[in-house]
């Protein structure tokens, strides 16, 4: 009988409205957009490093943290060694790490738990990935971490670095460990001797991840700095991206050269986007760029351009082979393509203000945002990590995205990085960062850099909106 049946009343679908900043459809209620947190992981992930000292764990942790933040996954590194330094204040010798040093073991255990507590706090307030950077060489320690993760609803992914090459280990000690606060008052020989003894303290208790005993864990084992890999139980999208990234990075010394195309006809007119050719000064820059590369005498240099006329014209002057990437094309300004900032303010004042309020996430109508551009550039960045010496002839927004990756800049800083025309930036990756050299090639050009104006309110005056627009013809 109908009277006895239970009916489940389905809630009616909410109305949708387009977010004016990002141009994406979102639920709304009573005219207000519902707040929604975008999450690229289905639950928080704890990445745990494993390995003896001087095996590149911190190098991996820092690069991985930088990469994940760059692609939009909130990530933070927790280095247990730093917790130990803050606790002890002064490092005396390797004796602290001896397996029979009960006091040392107690302090190290306390530091690890303090770091895990901070991991819990971070992942509970919006963080999506935490990198727990420590040796974690015993199965007992790793089981403690797995139990901690299970209790807090985190997924765990282990990253083990195994290296038996004495030259690589020695190079790591000299490049990184001797600059550590632990050895600030030691000479090189004393520091190397002490650190080698510290490694010995860990070797006796080291239990590497095992294909049989640890078959239920998710991990990647990196052997001899990327000569071989072992990957086990990759469970989700974020773990897959981590594996893909770690299998593409290398430590071979190299330099990456970034520059924009030569000055274009539209640059002179103060118009954004478009696909114009080079101005006379832009062509002169291309000749200077050729001489610069000849003087540098860079071994096996590869040249990449976008598929836009101005970068290809610039590369044509170099007299060397080059590769075109559509992914390197300039940010798509949609309906604002080939407009001056003054015209955008006149025809689209709301759009102009919204972009100034959040330049990274703002999407041009029928165009792109910097957030979109980073996603488009990720495959290029991955290939750039695989290469050695490369010159990338690109565009202002594209160059900003690359710089933000290598210099570890935030989404707020990225859209305002200064990337002038007719200037080459030489990036040389270092152990925990990147050395930057700026080389101006001496050819005059217009300035296309626009800083964030003080007033970003939608009701601002035209003068306020155009406050930082660079001069043009």
Contact between 198 and 92 under an 8 Å Cβ cutoff? The reply is no
| 44: helix, strand or coil | coil
The whole-number pLDDT of residue 28 equals 78
Q: Catalytic residues, which ones?
A: 133, 163, 261, 330
Task: Specify the pLDDT at position 11.
Answer: 65
CA dihedral 467, 471, 472, 473 (to 10 degrees): 100
* pLDDT in single tens digits along all 473 residues of the chain: 445 555 455 567 778 888 899 888 888 776 666 555 545 557 899 999 999 999 999 999 999 999 999 999 999 999 999 999 999 888 889 999 999 999 999 999 999 999 999 999 999 999 999 999 999 999 999 999 999 999 999 999 999 999 988 888 888 888 777 778 888 888 888 889 999 999 999 999 999 999 999 999 999 999 998 899 999 999 999 999 999 999 999 888 899 999 999 999 999 999 999 999 999 999 999 999 999 999 999 999 999 999 999 999 999 999 999 999 999 999 999 999 999 999 999 999 999 999 999 999 999 999 999 999 999 999 999 999 999 999 999 999 999 999 999 999 999 999 999 999 999 999 998 878 899 999 999 999 999 999 999 999 999 999 999 999 999 87
Whether the CB-CB separation of 384 and 398 falls below 8 Å is answered with: no
Q: Which residues pair with 437 in a beta bridge?
A: 426
How far is the first Cα of the chain from the last one, in angstroms, to the nearest whole number? 81
User: What pLDDT, on a 0 to 100 scale, did the predictor assign at position 31?
Assistant: 64
Can you point out the beta strands (E) in 369-448?
Answer: 390-394, 423-429, 434-440
Instruction: Calculate the CA 61 to chain-centre distance.
Output: 12
Query: What local confidence, expressed as pLDDT, does residue 235 receive?
Result: 94
Residue 6 has a pLDDT of: 52
Instruction: Give the whole-angstrom CA distance, residue 72 versus residue 241.
Output: 12
Q: Tell me, what DSSP letter sits at residue 39?
A: -
Determine the Cα–Cα distance for residues 275 and 284; give it in Å rounded to an integer.
19
SS3 40: coil
């Amino acid at each position: 009988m109908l009277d006895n049946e239970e009916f489940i009343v389905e809630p009616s679908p909410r109305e949708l409205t387009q977010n004016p900043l990002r141009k994406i459809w979102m639920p709304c209620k009573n005219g207000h957009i519902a707040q929604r947190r975008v999450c690229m992981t289905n639950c928080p992930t704890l990445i745990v490093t494993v390995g003896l000292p001087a095996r590149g764990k911190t190098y991996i942790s820092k690069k991985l943290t930088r990469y994940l933040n760059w692609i939009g996954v909130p990530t933070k590194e927790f280095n247990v060694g730093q917790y130990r330094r803050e606790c002890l204040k002064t490092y005396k010798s390797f004796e602290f790490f001896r397996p029979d040093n009960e006091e040392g073991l107690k302090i190290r255990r306390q530091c690890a738990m303090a770091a895990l507590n901070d991991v819990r706090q971070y992942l509970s307030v919006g963080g999506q990935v935490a990198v727990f950077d420590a040796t974690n060489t015993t199965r007992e320690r790793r089981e403690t971490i797995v139990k901690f993760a299970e209790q807090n609803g985190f997924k765990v992914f282990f990253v083990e670095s195994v290296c038996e090459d004495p030259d690589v280990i020695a190079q790591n000690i000299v490049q990184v460990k001797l600059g550590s606060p632990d050895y600030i008052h030691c000479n090189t020989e004393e520091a190397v001797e002490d650190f080698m003894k510290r490694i010995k303290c860990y070797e006796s208790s080291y239990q590497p991840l095992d294909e049989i005993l640890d078959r239920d864990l998710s991990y990647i084992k990196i052997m001899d700095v990327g000569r071989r890999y072992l990957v086990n139980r990759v469970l989700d999208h974020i773990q897959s991206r981590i594996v893909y990234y770690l299998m593409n990075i290398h430590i071979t010394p190299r330099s990456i050269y970034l520059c924009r195309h030569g000055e274009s006809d539209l640059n002179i007119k103060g118009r954004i986007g478009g696909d114009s050719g080079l101005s006379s000064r832009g062509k002169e820059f291309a000749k200077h760029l050729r001489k610069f590369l000849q003087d540098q005498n860079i071994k096996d240099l590869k040249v990449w351009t976008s598929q836009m006329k101005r970068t290809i014209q610039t590369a044509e002057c170099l007299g060397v082979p080059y590769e075109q990437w559509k992914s390197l094309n300039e940010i798509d300004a949609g309906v604002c393509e080939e407009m001056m900032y003054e015209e955008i303010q006149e025809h689209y004042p709301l759009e102009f203000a919204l972009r100034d309020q959040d330049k990274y996430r703002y999407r041009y109508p029928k165009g792109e945002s910097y957030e979109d551009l980073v996603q488009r550039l990720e495959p290029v960045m991955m290939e750039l990590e695989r290469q050695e010496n490369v010159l990338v002839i690109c565009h202002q927004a594209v160059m900003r995205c690359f710089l933000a990756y290598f210099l570890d800049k935030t989404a707020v800083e990225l859209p305002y990085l200064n990337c002038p025309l007719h200037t080459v930036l030489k990036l040389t990756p270092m152990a925990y960062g990147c050395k930057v050299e700026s080389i101006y090639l001496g050819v005059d050009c217009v300035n296309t850099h626009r800083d964030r104006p003080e007033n970003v309110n939608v009701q601002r005056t035209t003068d306020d909106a155009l406050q930082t627009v660079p001069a043009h013809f």
